[in-house]
Amino acid sequence: MLNKRKIGDLEVSAIGLGCMGMSEFYGETNEAESLQTLQFAYEHGVNFFDTADIYGFGANERLLGKALRPIRDKVMIATKCGILRDPNNPEYRGLDARPEYVRRSLEKSLQRLNTDYVDLYYLHRVDPKVPIEETVSAMSELVAEGKVRYIGLSEASVRTIRKANAIHPITAIQTEYSITTREVEENGVLDLTKELNIGFVAYSPLGRALLTSQFAKPAVVNDFRQNLPRFSGENLEKNLKQLEKLKEFAADKKVSLVQLALAWLLAQGEYIVPIPGTKRIKYLQENIAAAQIELTQNELQELNQLVNETNFAGGRYADAIINDHNLNG
């Protein structure tokens, strides 16, 4: 069974489950298979499930509502608000963090999740048009009303996090973090979460599958990743070569690169919880097993050196996406 970790005052499994891909973005979806995967996750110690109102235009929240309702008091559900989408134009993205929108979004999420409360409610992206103090004040009211237990921010800057935490304790910061994406080590966010006793939830901890067997060799990308610079043909080929020494290290350790990547993240701090996403039980088993891997100090020192030597080509997002999503929050 999985060990537990504390993110703020919330106790969750050391590895959570990102559920987005069960409803959208990563190829075909299969509800029956996803329901089996969610059940397997719970039976094997995962109690932390991550979703958002925009995943599948609400379908992902409905999926979790169906799967987790019988065990609602035994699991932690995290969902998000603040990004706008248009079913008639799936590529469109907007932002809205007005207090009235936050409240309205939560009510809809509660209905889809078939629950009276969510354990962790994130602002999905910071809206530059709305002072963060106003948004967090509205979220704080939802906590007082018992509809939300704890609140968090996703992809927020140090300055924004400090402002938000001064209004209401922030329990978690969710940001992309992996061997392939380490900006949070450089921009102060990781250090700040440790300083303020805020949990850090690492999404895409496997580099959007770059660290999985899916990319054992250069492949054609046919989903949303085809628009990400890191997965363009020439960059992808370069990036796969960057992984060779890490693969050798994993083989010597008798673990997969996936497991090594998750073990490395877990070793960066007890307040860090990765939430790898998967639709399939076999990959979930591999992810869960990573929590049992122990890295000695010498191994971690050698691994950190290898990680520092990697230099991945292409950004994690195209510049247009960064601007549209306000990823610099």
Enzyme catalytic residues: 55
Q: Assign residue 208 a region: left if phi > 0, alpha if psi is -120 to 50, beta otherwise?
A: left
State residue 88 phi and psi, 5-degree precision.
Answer: -85, -10
Contact yes or no for 113/77 (Cβ under 8 A): yes
How far is it between the farthest Cα atoms of the chain? 54
CB atoms within 10 A of CB 294: 9
Q: Radius of gyration over alpha carbons of the chain, in Å? A: 19
Contact yes or no for 4/48 (Cβ under 8 A): no
Contact yes or no for 110/117 (Cβ under 8 A): yes
Contact yes or no for 205/291 (Cβ under 8 A): no
Burial class (CB in 10 A: 0-12, 13-18, 19+), 148: buried
Contact yes or no for 44/38 (Cβ under 8 A): no
Q: Which two tokens stand for residue 68?
A: 């987790």
What is the sign of the dihedral through the CA atoms of 93, 98, 100 and 103?
positive
SS3 state of residue 17: strand
**Which residues are within 8 A (CB) of 39 and not within 5 positions of it... i.e. 6 or more apart?**
67
